[in-house]
Amino acid sequence: MIRTRFAPSPTGYLHVGGLRTALYNYLYAKKHNGVFILRIEDTDQQRKIEGAVENLISTLKWTGIYHDEGPDVGGEFGPYIQSQRLSIYREHINQLIEAGHAYHCFCSTDRLKSLREQQIAENQNPRYDNHCRDISKDEAEQRIAAGKSSVVRMKVPTSGFIEIYDLVRGKVTFACDLLEDQILLKSDGFPTYHLANVVDDHYMQISHVIRGEEWLPSTPKHKLLYEYFGWKLPQFAHLPLLLNADRSKLSKRQGDVAVEDYLRKGYLPEALINFLALLGWNPGTNREIFNLEELIQAFSLKRINKAGAIFNPEKLQWMNSQYIRGLKPENLLKLASPYLPDDKSCQDWPKDKVGEILLLLQPYLSTLSDIPEKGSFFFNDPVLSENTELQDLIRSPEFHTVLASLKNQVVRVRILNSAAFHSMVKTVQQETRVTGKQLWTTIRVAIIGKEHGPDISKIAEILGKDRFLKRLDAALKING
């Protein structure tokens, strides 16, 4: 059975790169009727942040990615939090030491720092020099009994090559003399990622390890551990990096990278998932819009690219706008509610009118957080005297003439709707001889304070007769 896992560290927010890794693992498992597992790798206790696990789980659920096994849902291969599995790691460390595949290292932090500085000064590749590798097991035990602090390192062959087959990159070969004896167990008794992930992947029966390419250089060491334990190797697939436009690694310094940032800004989860799926994978067609079920059916590891993928915020905005346009009215109102102004300007509008406002704005929204700005003219009357760019129009004789004629038409109708509005504007055109763009721009500026926006007849209908006349009167007072 296909079994994949997403194994984040609870050190803060969920990075969009992490979400893409989770997504690819999820898609591959579901495509093959397999199991998707969430495992929390919290062996770095110093970097652990309170509440991060709960945040990770809730963020994944927001995107629609649900795990089959994990810390909150259980499963037959738990615990799914590494700090709860320390006895398992200790048992396997002892196995490696007994078999001669690992050893205690007593080198101090100062010695290792000095060694690194010297190697860099001599233009050498910084790495551990195997100083403690030949200490006998008896001597090591005596030092430990005497209170000496140590870590446990894995013995890596000093010559030869280790070959890895990667489902994305094909055959990759590593020279052993470039690999250092990796730390497997820290002095605090917690394992490093290298030991814990191998042990857990084996016992959780992970068939495919799908992770970021930053882990590719560590994979030969992981392969060695599988061989030392006599375990079957899973298949590996290392995903391309997410990059900024300048091809630097995507980082917080150059924009939002936390999934919750996009949630807060009003991106729809379906749009974010669709966008991330296409960063590093392509369906083999020009199609760009996929729902989650369609992604499951189309996904293939064979179509993952080797090259890094550019994270294009503008493309994400475009994709999000497509999903917003596809929302049904009741869903739009529900999702948009947190982004509406929370002051009296919005509370004065009845719910059905708010729904009409959102439907009118819908084609103009890239994110839901655009609503206050895009719909500002509904929630706040325009202050034309402060609009310095349009003063020539506002102070022109035609401005007053057109609005006075329009007011005479509006006061006569009982209900202001779109059809009636168009009829009135035709009458204004005949009375004032002002036509075309000048006519419509005059009305639009008076009512919403802008030269461009949604259909002004629809705006008039939503505003209603009383609000519309109030704005006309305010505009007429400027040069009346």
User: pLDDT tens-digit profile of 434-472?
Assistant: 899 999 999 999 999 998 999 999 999 999 999 999 999
Q: Of all helices (H) and strands (E), which one includes residue 347? A: helix 344-347
Q: Which of 349, 377, 405 is the last residue of a domain?
A: 377
Per-residue pLDDT for 134 more than 90? yes
Q: Same structural domain for residues 368 and 388?
A: no
Q: Find all residues with CB under 8 Å of 211, minimum gap 6, and list them.
A: 21, 237, 238, 239
Kindly indicate the confidence band of residue 393, based on its pLDDT and cuts at 50, 70 and 90. Answer: confident
Instruction: Find out whether 35 and 2 touch, Cβ atoms under 8 Å.
Output: yes
What total of structural domains would you count in the chain? 3
Poorest-pLDDT segment among 134-143, 364-373, 392-401, 412-421: 392-401
The predicted pLDDT at position 196 comes to 97
Q: What letter does residue 240 receive in the DSSP assignment?
A: P
The burial class, CB within 10 Å (0-12 / 13-18 / 19+), for 332 is buried
- Per-residue b/e over 28-42, b at no fewer than 16 CB within 10 Å? bbbbbebbbbbbbbb
Residues 227 and 291 in one domain: no
Q: Do 192 and 177 reside in the same domain of the chain?
A: yes
**Is 70 part of a structural domain of the chain?**
no
pLDDT number for residue 45: 78
Is a pLDDT exceeding 80 seen at residue 190? yes
pLDDT category at 68 given cuts 50, 70, 90 is very high
97 domain residue, yes or no: yes
Cβ distance 462 to 357 under 8 Å? yes
* 342, pLDDT greater than 90: no
> Measured over all CA atoms, what is the biggest interatomic distance in the chain, rounded to whole angstroms?
107
Span 423-444, average pLDDT: 93
Q: Are residues 91 and 217 in the same domain?
A: yes
| Residues 388 and 365 occupy one common structural domain | no
Tokens describing residue 366: 């890239």
Exactly one of 61, 252, 470, 477 is catalytic; name it: 252
Q: Looking at the structure, do residues 217 and 265 belong to the same domain, yes or no?
A: no
Which residue type, as a one-letter code, is found at position 53?
Answer: V
Residue 466: predicted pLDDT: 93
Distance, CA of 35 to CA of 206 (rounded, Å): 9
pLDDT at 256: 72
Between the CA of residue 350 and those of 270, 344, 347, what are the distances in Å?
Answer: 29, 12, 7
pLDDT in tens, 102-124: 999 999 999 999 999 999 999 98
Between helices 436-448 and 418-432, what is the axis angle to 10°? Answer: 120
Tell me the CB-side half-sphere exposure of residue 215, using CA atoms within 13 A. 18
Helix and strand counts by DSSP (H, E) for the chain: 21, 11
- What secondary structure does DSSP assign to 404-472, as a single string? HHHHHHHTT-SS--HHHHHHHHHHHHHHH---HHHHHHHHHHHHHSSS--S-HHHHHHHHHHHHHHHHH
Domain-terminating residue out of 329, 361, 377? 377
Residues 179 and 276 placed together within one structural domain of the fold: no
Answer whether residue 250 is part of any domain: no
Q: What per-residue confidence (pLDDT) applies to 479? A: 64
Annotated catalytic residue 48: no
Q: Find out whether 169 and 238 touch, Cβ atoms under 8 Å.
A: yes
Which tokens in the block code for residue 342?
């929370």
pLDDT > 70? residue 480: no
| pLDDT value, residue 254 | 58
Cβ atoms of residues 415 and 465 within 8 Å: yes
> Residue 241 gets which letter from DSSP?
P
Provide the CATH number for the domain around residue 397: 1.10.10.350
> Which residues form the domain of 270?
259-377
**Which CB contacts under 8 angstroms, 24+ apart, belong to 340-347?**
340/371, 340/372, 341/372, 341/379, 345/379, 345/380, 346/379
Q: Please report whether residue 417 resides in a domain.
A: yes
Whichever domain contains 320, its CATH number is: 1.10.1160.10
Taking phi first (over 0 means left), then psi (-120 to 50 degrees means alpha), and beta for anything else, what does residue 407 get? alpha
Q: Do 358 and 385 share a structural domain?
A: no
Confidence band for 252, pLDDT divided at 50, 70 and 90 = low
> Residue 285 phi/psi, 5° resolution?
-135, 180
Residues 288 and 364 both lie in one domain: yes
Q: Report the predicted TM-score, pTM, of the whole model to 2 decimal places.
A: 0.92
